[in-house]
Amino acid sequence: MTTTLPLNSGAHIPQIGFGTSQAADAARSVAEAVRAGYRHIDTAQMYGNETGVGEGVRASGVPREEVFVTTKLNNGHHDPTDVHRTFQESLDRLGFDYVDLFLIHWPLPFLNTDYVDTWKAMLQVQETGRARSVGVSNFQPEHLERIIAATGVVPAVNQIEVHPYFANNELREFSKARGIMVEAWSPLGKGTELSDPVIAELAAKHGHAPAQVILRWHLQRGDVVIPKSDNPERIRSNLDLSGFELTEQDMAALDALDKGEEGRRSPHPNEFGK
Ligand SMILES: NC(=O)c1ccc[n+]([C@@H]2O[C@H](COP(=O)([O-])OP(=O)(O)OC[C@H]3O[C@@H](n4cnc5c(N)ncnc54)[C@H](OP(=O)(O)O)[C@@H]3O)[C@@H](O)[C@H]2O)c1
């Protein structure tokens, strides 16, 4: 069983989650992941796979209430009435009567619809009990400050890009200082950092796979991770992280791989969706 971490909403989130994507056969990979022991699945309206995610959870045989499920509001749905309508559509596709976490996927600060109004609609959804916790994704300090100042409600989670080449420490620290849980997306840098010589050396030293070394670094930094894999063996090994520990020196060696802005794999959140 993976460790769970407390959210400011009172709920608990399993620290290791399973990422999903547009391309994958979500029903198969999610069923595989839940059977392997994952109790946290990350999806989004944007991925077009919510139907498969719901099928996968049901096919696993594990009761719905034992699996923490997140979905995210798509970029075309920031208008408050769309938030309510499309949230219900997500539930219908998933075949669930609630999700554990509902996130605004991207801030889109250039839209006519202010993300503060979108956030207020998210809070109304939470009040109905159909989203146990609500949060954001890709929100920068100024976005977080505005939604908190306008509503007094601190998001439970900020799901952001974090991997060794893009440690995103300033935003992580800003979020954590306000009691917001950081979830690292693309925790493996989309698989591109696995052959880095420093990571390969640590993998050899600990007798674990490079991906396990990276995921262990995230866990020891206190973040939630959501690695994605379609491969049954990698699905299992990405969850099997308790058999070793990185030393302070190992952590420092991984910290030193941070390339700052150059390490981003996606556009800056102020630009994404323009
Ligand atoms: N909020 C957002 O804006 C946002 C943006 C991007 C992603 N996400 C979420 O974050 C999740 C993960 O991100 P991601 O898919 O971009 O990147 P990732 O998890 O960092 O990397 C996935 C890639 O690494 C490979 N991989 C996984 N485990 C491996 C292992 N043990 N050894 C070797 N290769 C391995 C996968 O290939 P195989 O499948 O072949 O194993 C895949 O190509 C997504 O599924 C999604 O849920 C959120």
* Helical packing angle, 80-94 and 115-127, nearest 10°: 50
The mean per-residue pLDDT over the stretch 60-77 comes to 98
Q: Residue of the nearest CA to atom 24 in ligand 1? A: 191
| Residues 181 and 156 sit within 8 Å (Cβ to Cβ) | yes
Q: What is the Cα–Cα distance from 31 to 59, expressed in whole angstroms?
A: 6
The mean per-residue pLDDT over the stretch 125-133 comes to 98
Q: What is the Cα–Cα distance from 188 to 18, expressed in whole angstroms?
A: 12
Query: Ligand 1 test: best mutation among 139, 157, 181, 188, most atoms within 8 Å of CB?
Result: 188
222 CB-side CA count, 13 A: 12
* Helical packing angle, 50-60 and 26-36, nearest 10°: 40
Kindly list the structural domains of the chain, giving each domain's residue range(s) and its CATH number in brackets, ordered by start.
Answer: 4-188+223-229 (3.20.20.100)
| pLDDT computed for residue 74 by the predictor | 98
Q: Give the model's confidence band at 58: pLDDT under 50 very low, under 70 low, under 90 confident, else very high.
A: very high
Tell whether the model's pLDDT for residue 23 goes beyond 80.
Answer: no
Query: How many residues in the chain?
Result: 274
- The pTM score is 0.98
Q: Give the model's confidence band at 214: pLDDT under 50 very low, under 70 low, under 90 confident, else very high.
A: very high
Q: Residue of the nearest CA to atom 34 in ligand 1? A: 191
C-beta of 164 in contact with ligand 1 (< 6 A): no
**Can you point out the beta strands (E) in the chain?**
4-6, 12-14, 18-19, 40-42, 68-73, 99-104, 131-137, 157-161, 181-185, 224-225
Pair type for strands 181-185 and 224-225: parallel
140 CB-side CA count, 13 A: 10
Q: What is the Cα–Cα distance from 131 to 49, expressed in whole angstroms?
A: 19
* Identified catalytic residue from 38, 47, 98, 165: 47
Q: How far is CA 222 from the centre of its chain?
A: 13
Q: Residue of the nearest CA to atom 44 in ligand 1? A: 19
C-beta of 20 in contact with ligand 1 (< 6 A): yes
* Helical packing angle, 197-206 and 210-220, nearest 10°: 90
| Phi and psi at residue 221, to the nearest 5° | -85, -5
What pLDDT digit, counting tens, does each position of 220-260 carry? 999 999 999 999 999 999 999 999 999 999 999 999 999 99
Residue 268, token pair as written in the block? 């800056």
The SS3 call for residue 208 is: coil
CA 152–ligand 1 middle distance (angstroms): 34
| Residues 87 and 119 sit within 8 Å (Cβ to Cβ) | no
Q: What is the Cα–Cα distance from 76 to 207, expressed in whole angstroms?
A: 45
Work out the percent of the chain whose per-residue pLDDT is above 70. 100
Q: What is the Cα–Cα distance from 122 to 83, expressed in whole angstroms?
A: 7
Q: What is the Cα–Cα distance from 233 to 193, expressed in whole angstroms?
A: 19
- Please indicate whether residue 165 is annotated as part of the active site: no
